[in-house]
Structure 1
Amino acid sequence: MYNIDEIIYSCPVEALSNILGKKWIAIIIWKLQDNKMRFGELQRAIDGCTKKMLIQQLDVLIDQGIVINDKKVSNNSVESTYYLSEAGIKLLPIMANMMAWSNQHLPCGH
C-alpha cells in the first residue's frame, strides 16, 4: 500500500503518477536535476508558479523524500537550499523516458 496525500494506492504506478501529475511537480524536479537551488532561484526558474504553490509542491516533494531542504542558520536568518535526494535523482531517467514517449506518441498541436 502506498499513502500519498492521505490517499491509499495499491498500485505503485498510480501512486507515482499522483505525485508527478500534480501541477509544477515535474518541472520542479527537472529544474533541480543539475544543481542545488535556493527558493528564490527556483521560483525565478519556474515561470508562472506562485510562491504559495511552489511552497506547497516543495512540501509534497520533501514529504515523499524526493527533494531535500538543507537549512542553514546564519546571522538570525535561515537559508534553505533545495536539491534532489537519491530517490529524486532516480526519477530523472523515468521522466526522460516519459518525455521521449510523449514526444513520439502524443500530439502537441503542431
Structure 2
Amino acid sequence: MSVTHTDVTATLDPCGASDHPDCGIRDMLDRVGDTWTVMVVVELGASERRFGELQRAIDGISQRMLTLTLRRLERDGLVNRTVFPTVPAQVSYALTESGARLTHLIKALADWSLAERDAIAAARQHYDDAHPGHAIR
C-alpha cells in the first residue's frame, strides 16, 4: 500500500503557514524537479567537473543559469565547490554524499519515463484526438 500525501505531511512539522504544512517538501521538490538541477546532478554523478566542462556537457544551459543552479545546489548541501589557487582560478564541482544519494532517484525517474513513454505518448494522442484545438502541451 502506498503512502498518501496526507500520511506523509501528517508526520512533518508545519513550516508556520497554516495553509501549507508541507512546504519543506515543496521546496526540495522544486529544486530537484528543475530541469537544470537534474542535468547538473546527472553530469556530476559521473565525475567531478569544472564549470566549463559542465556547461559544454549540458546542452542549452546559459552561463548564468549554470552559475545559479550550482550555487543553489551548493547552498542545499548537494554540491561541493573547490577553488584551486591558480591564475586564473580553477573551480571544480562534485556531489556531496547527499547529492550522490539523489542520483539513484533521478535514475529511477529516468528509467520510469523510458518504460512509460510509449503509453504516455498514446494517452496524449488519445486526449488530443478527443479535444481538438486545445492548448495543453
Name the CA distance, whole Å, in 1 between partners of 2:99 and 2:30: 15
Aligned pair count reads 105
**Quick one: which of 52, 75, 80 aligns to 1:68?**
80
The question of whether the paired residues in 2 share the 8 Å contact of 1:9 and 1:15 is answered with no
Whichever of the two has the greater Rg, that structure is 2
What pairs up with 1:10-89 in 2 under 5 angstroms?
A: 10=22, 13-75=25-87, 77-89=88-100
Give SS of 2:46's match: coil
| Displacement after TM superposition at 1:74 (Å) | 1.7
* Larger relative strand fraction: 1
Q: Which runs of 5+ in 1 are unaligned?
A: none
TM-score, normalised by the number of residues in structure 1: 0.81
Residue in 2 that maps onto 1:102: 113
1:54-105 CA deviation, whole Å, 9 max, x = no partner?
0011111110011111111124x31100111100100011111111222233
TM-score, normalised by the number of residues in structure 2: 0.66
Backbone CA RMSD of aligned residues: 2.6
* Percent of aligned positions that are identical: 27
Q: Which runs of 5+ in 2 are unaligned?
A: 1-12, 126-137
Give SS of 1:47's match: coil
| Displacement after TM superposition at 1:15 (Å) | 3.1
* Larger relative helix fraction: 2
